[in-house]
Structure 1
Amino acid sequence: MKDKHIIIISLDAVDKNDFNILKELPNFKKVLDKSSYSCEVETVYPSLTYPAHTTIVTGKYPKNHGIINNIVVKPGDNNPDWLWHKHNINGETIYDLAKEQGMTIASLLWPVTAKANIDYNLPEIFPTKPWQNQILLSLLNGSKAYQFKLNAKFGTLRNGINQPELDNFVMASLLNTLREKQPGLTMVHLTDVDSKRHEHGYNSPEALYSLKRHDSRIGEILNCLHLMGVEEETSIIILGDHSFKDADYVIKLNKLFVDKGWILFDEKGKLNEWLVFMNFCDGSAYIYLNDKENIELLKLVKSTLMEFSKNNNDCIEAILSNEEAIKLGADPNCSLMIEAKEGYYFINDIDGEIIEATGDKYHKATHGYSPKAKQDYETFFVISGKNVKKNFNIGKMRLIDEGPTIAKLIGGKLSDADGKVLNHIFI
């Protein structure tokens, strides 16, 4: 018999090293002691929030679920839209299964849920154009009445997308939702650690403080469930999506492509034509050719990248063919995929020098790197429930295994998942 309530708590950017800190903190430890767990979870490539969270709910690699990046491919747009909408996902999700099982669903800032069939939906979506409004954009892409009430009650807690205020708003909204709606499946995405690491660095005091705030938030959830009298019939899942690496330099290959004449602008600075374009994934990037059949240009691009890297401290660690990118689960439509050397990451900008020190202008740490190429890059997974083993170390597993395993907890099956059910954790 399955648990009446399932809560999935995503701690964005929390990894295996953080697990060793969290396991000594009181509230995380309470959950851990009655859970099966792993701090050796291999993430997906590219290791970005949107591909990873879609993998969590589908059990698929990015190449198969369709969310191959955070952002869309749109040369000439300095602030492109993100892949916010559910219709971009190929195949079934765990919340689709939950709906089939007759469960009510709540989702708070879970990536790629805009306009999803979710009962209580506060989607993660934000303005990218000057004429857009945050509150209106959210209302139009989620549950209108639900969001209106949350904003009326807790909107003053927010300060844009700044942390910890954003997670404080999400937590107040979550606790209110648990009490008033009592959903069967609840998914919540907290980004405090991710924000602080980008801004201050991987091992910064600010990142450590955000981890401790997360433990307090877990405590708030546990206390809420206790006061509701449902703690014994609630399965709690706490997970991470990717790790992080400090970075000293940004690489702007589209600037190189402009210099080569492969990206052309008119006299007003608007994109006129492009032959080659890099779309960044932070620690990695996709290279697209407008004419995919132009083999000679592809060879020239590859040799140009090799020469550039050689002349700049071997800053590009790997140049992958389309076939190699597909094998790693990435975008089947890319012409090449490149992996940055540790200490470097890619951005789409074309202003300034091709390589710049991060300084105070750019992120001090980031992700998006290959889990196969970088050491000490695993994330974590903790799962509890009446039919789940307690204090059981799962060992090595993959992010693609989480969806099928959660699906079993829900009482369904993701039939086309790339991952497998972790059957050995169930009693």
Structure 2
Amino acid sequence: MKRVVVLNVVGLTRSVIGEHTPRIRAFVESGQLSSFKPAFPAVTCTAQSSYVTGLSEAGHGVVANGWYDREAAEVKFWKQSNHIVQGEKIWEVLRRDLPGFTCAKLFWWYNMYSTADWTITPRPMYPADGRKVFDVYTQPMGMREEVKADLGAFPFPTFWGPNASIPCSEWIAESAKWVEAKHEPTLSLVYLPHLDYGLQKYGPGASEMDAELEAIDRVVGDLIDYFEQRDVEVVLLSEYGISRVDKPVHLNRLFREKGWITIKEELGTEMLDCGASRVFAVADHQVAHVYLNDQSLLEEVQQLLMETDGVEEVRLGSEAFGKNGKGHERAGDLVAVSDENAWFTYYYWLDDAVAPDFARCVDIHRKPGYDPVELFLDPEIAAPKLKIGSFLLKKKLGFRALLDVIPLDASLVKGSHGRDQVSEDEQPIFVTRERHEALGGAEDVFSRICALVKARELGEK
């Protein structure tokens, strides 16, 4: 039975393939590369949901990496249940059509409670004493201890934050080999996030990116060799390209100056009260969902956004998604798209002295928006390693402590993504050794993978 592995190399585009990616370049030159219009917004959760369902954003409902839950009156970011993604998934379709089909889904998002046969996803434990214990979640559950026994603990600090680096992608790659050796899935979906870190931190074209490109090229090249030696068809895929940015845009601060934001003071810090605010934005890279609890302000808010420096476009949420301009209930009433060189922060405070405590921490679930500044250590801290060491010692001794090492300087970020109107060099790519039908958009990834698996399985090639 011919089988397929999809290597989702985040941030991989035509513009970064070259001198520092010789093994990826050799794979591309031996086959066919198709670039295609990214999902909207061009972010991980939305793109992957389009890939695994073949639906537009209006169909699968994943309108960003996070959004405002109007019923709970809470912003929810980076949730993990696969039930969030609406529509039938690629492994369900192929399993129905091809008896004996199996699928491994490794670190692709929305991976908990998936109907895929084998899954691994990052999932810390949060004991009642306030600790955060790094771990993974697997299906079947017993696989969790087996894979950790063989590969060691997943290097969670390198998956996100100031220490984000190649070890997490190396571990994910080894887990893909581990699952392949034990189970031989028909389809393996493998997520390799490494390029995303450097491209956001340093920006595309920065000299620091040379080493980052070489690192992911080594990991990808090794996986290509491994799977092809086992007669598994390799697909290289990406989700978006990164644009160089130099202009953070603080929409919530603009709304606060208008008197539309409600702030709740907590222990000397300011907390955004979404449910009580008339207008607020949930920022996600270069796209921001703007929610209105007071619909009478719609035209005024729309006009303010259109006049704001750094905003290129404002779409009605009811018409923002899908080929036919459909909407989804999770979307904002308005959806702002930034200029190519700009991106949106979640910042709502006007004085850093009263910023919430989580603002200076790596805290992806508590922040009401995505925060790429979490990739940096605060340059104002004289001895960051000493501060981190002190924090770890306090935690080990059982004391409460705050790892507040993240700066509040959005100008540090040099790369971002999310726009769907980008040059071909910054579009996501789909690469196979064999020729394939070109893709028009993110939804087409689903049909291309299905066609490849079915043709291989049915002996049509």
Please name the residue that 1:348 is paired with: 346
Corresponding residue number in structure 2 for 1:423: none
Alpha-carbon deviations, 1:348-378, whole Å to 9, x = none?
1213479x99967642211011x22667431
Corresponding position of 1:53: 48
Partner of 1:170: 172
Q: Does 1:180 align with 2:182?
A: yes
- Structure 1, unaligned stretches of length 5 or more? 413-425
Gaps of 5+ in 2: 353-372, 374-406
Aligned to 1:251: 249
Higher relative contact order (CA 8 A, sep 6+): 1
Secondary structure, aligned partner of 1:174: helix
Q: Distance in 1 between matches of 2:67 and 2:225?
A: 40
Is 1:332 matched with 2:328?
yes
Q: Is the 8 A contact 1:85 1:112 kept in 2?
A: yes
Alignment match, 1:401 = 444
Q: 1:303 corresponds to which residue? A: 303
Whether 1:379 and 2:428 are equivalent positions in the alignment is yes
CA contact (8 A) 1:71 1:82 kept: yes
What is the rounded CA distance, in whole Å, between the counterparts of 2:206 and 2:198 in structure 1?
Answer: 8
CA deviations on 1:165-202 (whole Å, 9 max, x unpaired) are 11111112122222222211111000110011112212
Residue 409 of structure 1 aligns with an amino acid whose one-letter code is L
TM-score by length of 1: 0.80
Q: Is the 8 A contact 1:81 1:128 kept in 2?
A: no
Aligned with 1:326: secondary structure? coil
CA contact (8 A) 1:10 1:240 kept: yes
Q: Kindly state the Cα deviation for residue 151 of structure 1 after the two structures are TM-superposed.
A: 2.0
**1:67: which partner in 2?**
62
CA drift at 1:254: 1.3
Q: How does 1:244-323 map to 2 (within 5 A)?
A: 244-268=242-266, 269-270=270-271, 271=273, 273-291=276-294, 294=295, 296-307=296-307, 309=308, 314-323=309-318
2:150 alignment partner, SS class: helix
Is the partner of 2:343 in helix, strand or coil?
A: strand
Q: Which residue number in structure 1 is paired with residue 413 of structure 2?
A: 363
Q: Which digits, 9 at most, give the CA deviation of each residue in 1:242-297, with x for residues without a partner?
A: 01111112112112222222221234345261221211121121111125xx2x31
Instruction: Name which of 23, 26, 49 aligns with 2:23.
Output: 26
Please state whether the residue corresponding to 1:286 is helix, strand or coil. strand
The residue correspondences of 1:55-204 to structure 2 (distance < 5 A) are 55-73=50-68, 80-100=76-96, 101=98, 102-125=100-123, 131=130, 133=132, 135=134, 138-139=136-137, 142-156=139-153, 158-160=155-157, 161=159, 162-204=164-206
Q: Secondary structure of 1:189's match?
A: strand
CA contact under 8 A between 2:17 and 2:25: conserved in structure 1?
Answer: no
Cα distance between partner residues in 2 of 1:279 and 1:199: 21
Q: Which deviates the most, 51-60 or 200-209?
A: 200-209
How many residues align structurally?
387
Q: Which residue pairs with 2:11 in the alignment?
A: 13
Q: In 1, are the aligned partners of 2:248 and 2:411 still within 8 Å (CA)? A: no
**Aligned 8 A contact 2:126 2:132 in 1:** no
Q: What is residue 208 of structure 1 aligned with on the other side?
A: 210
Q: Secondary structure at the residue paired with 1:305?
A: helix
Tell me the equivalent position of 2:357.
none
Structure 2 residue identity aligned to 1:95: W
**Equivalent pair of 1:358/1:364 in contact (CA under 8 Å):** no
